[in-house]
Amino acid sequence: MKKLLFTVFICQFLLVAPVFAQKEIKILCYNILEGMKTDSTAGKQLFTKWVKMQQPTMLALQEANHFTKESLASLAKGWGHPYSVLLKEKGYPVALTSKYPIEDVKIVIENFHHGYIQAKSHGINFVVLHLSPHRWDKRREEISNILHSLEQQQIVENSVLLGDFNAYSPLDSVNYRDGKAVAFLKGLQEKYPKNNYLINNEDIDFQTIQTVLDAGYIDALKVLAISRPKEANMILPTKHRIDFIYLSGDMIGRISSGQFIIDDFTKKYSDHKPLFINLKPKP
């Protein structure tokens, strides 16, 4: 009943929220498959052109493999972002680029499978993350540590958590009742027996995402899909989600639009689909 009342409140709030005349902020999030390896052009020209067409204010990347701080900065300038941060130059780093200065940067790698970037830009607190792909228990540990760190820093408002969570949401649980996701994960378990994809090799881990929801963060695209049922299939065209944009509860009234992007480029160049949200300026 509490979840139902909360959903109704969210929908009503979005439908009556005022429209601001100021320019919106577009936040784009994309796992680019090992450094956009499928774009073999010099300087990733196709990728740069695609990002430029999207006109994001901020861009959060996962799997920015083989990038250096210099090469990321060069790419970012190509799509109109003079500011950029790269987590690391080895492995599977995350990255953040922006039209506006990126401040208060915190790089966290220790005790994380990949790590995360915490930073502030355009007055918003960002956490760009890529949780463990191989173990549900490690993902739970990582997200709990991130949320605890934010709480300790008293960063609970005006915040965005986004990236590849490698976890399924309990809000999408109906989409997994056909057993296809469990069968897929069991296949991975057989192939990689040292990993840990399912709880007791039977059940999907929904608790990783539940922890985020319990901390008061809002699944931006789910909120939009619920409040705009006629557009729901466009907002959430993919039923099996592991990429998310979460907003602290105080930002819910700022959501104006958003969706997963499925076009000729995104169908081909990564095994993940990018997603974005547009935010109204802070009143």
Q: How far is CA 204 from CA 113, 180, 197, in A?
A: 20, 11, 8
The pLDDT assigned to 23 comes to 86
Strand-pairing partners, residue 129, are 116, 163
Q: What are phi and psi of 243, to 5 degrees?
A: -105, 130
pLDDT over 50 at 251, yes or no = yes
Under 8 Å CB-to-CB from 77, ≥6 apart: which residues? none
pLDDT over 70 percentage in the chain: 92
pLDDT over 70 at 3, yes or no = no
pLDDT band at 253; cut points 50, 70, 90: very high
pLDDT band at 4; cut points 50, 70, 90: very low
The pLDDT assigned to 20 comes to 33
The pLDDT assigned to 11 comes to 53
Q: Where are the domains of the chain?
A: 2-270
Q: How far is CA 164 from CA 78, 179, 245, in A?
A: 24, 22, 9
Beta strands in the chain (DSSP E): 25-31, 58-62, 83-86, 95-98, 102-108, 116-121, 124-130, 159-164, 217-219, 243-248, 255-260, 275-279
Q: How far apart are CA 86 and CA 69, in angstroms?
A: 6
pLDDT band at 22; cut points 50, 70, 90: low
pLDDT over 50 at 212, yes or no = yes
pLDDT band at 17; cut points 50, 70, 90: very low
3-state secondary structure of 61: strand
- Of 13-17, 26-30, 227-231, 258-262, least confident by mean pLDDT is 13-17
Residues in the chain: 283
Give per-residue pLDDT as tens, 31-81: 999 999 999 999 999 999 999 999 999 999 999 999 999 999 999 999 999
Q: Specify the CATH number for 2-270; select among 3.60.10.10, 1.10.10.10, 1.10.10.200, 3.40.50.720.
A: 3.60.10.10
Q: How far apart are CA 114 and CA 263, in angstroms?
A: 28
pLDDT band at 282; cut points 50, 70, 90: confident
Exposure of 148 in the CB half-sphere (CA atoms within 13 A): 6
Give the residue, 110 or 9, on which the prediction is more confident.
110
pLDDT over 80 at 21, yes or no = no
Give per-residue pLDDT as tens, 99-139: 999 999 999 999 999 999 999 999 999 999 999 999 999 99
The pLDDT assigned to 10 comes to 55
Average per-residue pLDDT in the chain?
A: 93
Q: pTM of the prediction? A: 0.91
Q: How far apart are CA 181 and CA 172, in angstroms?
A: 12
pLDDT over 80 at 186, yes or no = yes
- With beta carbons less than 8 A apart as the criterion, state whether 116 and 129 touch: yes
- Of 10-24, 100-114, 256-270, least confident by mean pLDDT is 10-24
The pLDDT assigned to 14 comes to 52
CA 47-48-49 angle, 5° bins:
90
